[in-house]
Amino acid sequence: MSTLVTIQQLTKHIGTTEQRLLFEKVNASVDEGERIAVLGASGQGKSTLLRILSLLDVPDGGDILWQGTSYLDSDPRTWRMRMSYVAQQPIMLAGSVEDNLKTVHYLHRTPYDSNLAGRLLAGVGLEGLDIHKRASDLSGGEKQRIALIRSIMLRPKVLLLDEVTASLDRTNAKLVEQQLTEWSKQEGISLVWVTHDQDQARSFSTTTWFMGEQTLLERQPTSLFFAHPHSELARQYILRPAPEADKENTCPSSH
C-alpha cells in the first residue's frame, strides 16, 4: 500500500502570553485506504493535530509531506482537496441543505452529483430530510452528517474526521460508521478519525494512534493496540469506561 502522508517530528505549542507544549516528536504515516482511529484523553491535541494536517493551524516544528512533498511547498487549496477536515463542531454555510452540498463543488470547480448526494444521505439515515430546508435549522446531529457528506462528495484521498458521530444516537452513529467504512473500502479513501468511542474504534479502524504524554505515544494495528498496549497510560485508557471517563482530564475550551 502506498504512503500518502508522512508526519515528521511535528511539534505544537499553545497559549498567547505563556506558551506551553501541546505535543512534540509526532511521527506517523497514513497509507492509502488505511483507517486510523485517533484516541486519547481530552486536551491531548487530537483536534489540533487534525487541524494542522488540513493546514487550518500551523505547527511550530516538523513537517508534513504529501507523497514526499512538504506542505510548505504545496498549494493549500490543492492540499485541502486531497485531505478534508470535518470539524467537531459542524459549520453550515448560508442557505439550504442542498446549497451546502453544492457550494463546495462550486468553490472547488468540481461537478455536483445529485445521485451520489441522495445515496449518501440515505446511507447516514437522512433519506427523509428535505434538502430545501434551511441548513441553520437542522439539529446538531443532522448538521454533523451534512458536513460529513459535504466533505465526502469532494472525494478527498484522506478524510480527517473529528468526533463526527458525537451528536448521534447509537443507531445513526453505527450507520455513519458503516457508510464511512464502505466508502473507504470502495474508493480506497483513508480515514483519520478522532473518537472517544472505543467500540467504534475497534470496529472501523485498521490502525490506532494513541495520544498521551505530549506526543503520539502509540501507533499500532488496532487489534494489537487493544490486546497489548505498550504503555501503562494506554492500558489504563482502555480499561476506563468510554466515553465520559475521558472528561476527567478535560482541559477547558478544547475544540
Ligand X SMILES: Nc1ncnc2c1ncn2[C@@H]1O[C@H](COP(=O)(O)OP(=O)(O)OP(=O)(O)O)[C@@H](O)[C@H]1O
For Mg ion, the closer CB: 224 or 251: 251
- If one asks whether residue 54 binds ligand X (CB under 6 A), the answer comes out as no
Minimal distance, residue 121 CB to ligand X, in Å: 27
> Among Mg ion, ligand X, none, what does residue 253 contact (CB within 5–8 Å per kind)?
ligand X
Minimal distance, residue 98 CB to ligand X, in Å: 30
Which 39-58 positions form the footprint of Mg ion (CB under 5 A)? 47
For ligand X, the closer CB: 43 or 156: 43
- If one asks whether residue 240 binds ligand X (CB under 6 A), the answer comes out as no
Q: Report the alpha-carbon distance of residue 221 to residue 171 in Å, rounded.
A: 26
Whether residue 181 contacts residue 125, with contact meaning beta carbons closer than 8 Å, is answered with no
Q: What is the DSSP string of 155-208?
A: --SEEEEESTTTTS-HHHHHHHHHHHHHHHHHHT-EEEEE-S-HHHHHHH-SEE
For Mg ion, the closer CB: 15 or 111: 15
- If one asks whether residue 115 binds ligand X (CB under 6 A), the answer comes out as no
- If one asks whether residue 90 binds ligand X (CB under 6 A), the answer comes out as no
Q: Report the alpha-carbon distance of residue 243 to residue 247 in Å, rounded.
A: 8
Buried b (16+ CB within 10 A) or exposed e, 99-127: bbbbebbeeeeeeeeeeebeebbebbbbe
Instruction: For residue 93, give the DSSP letter.
Output: P
Which 13-42 positions form the footprint of ligand X (CB under 6 A)? 14-15, 22, 40, 42
**Choices 43-51, 60-68, 95-103, 167-175 (CB under 6 A): range interacting with ligand X:** 43-51
Residues 6+ apart with CB under 8 A from 27: 7, 8, 9, 10, 216
Applying CB under 5 A, the residues found at the interface with Mg ion are: 47
Question: Which residues bind to ligand X, rule: CB under 6 A?
Answer: 14-15, 22, 40, 42-48, 251, 253-255
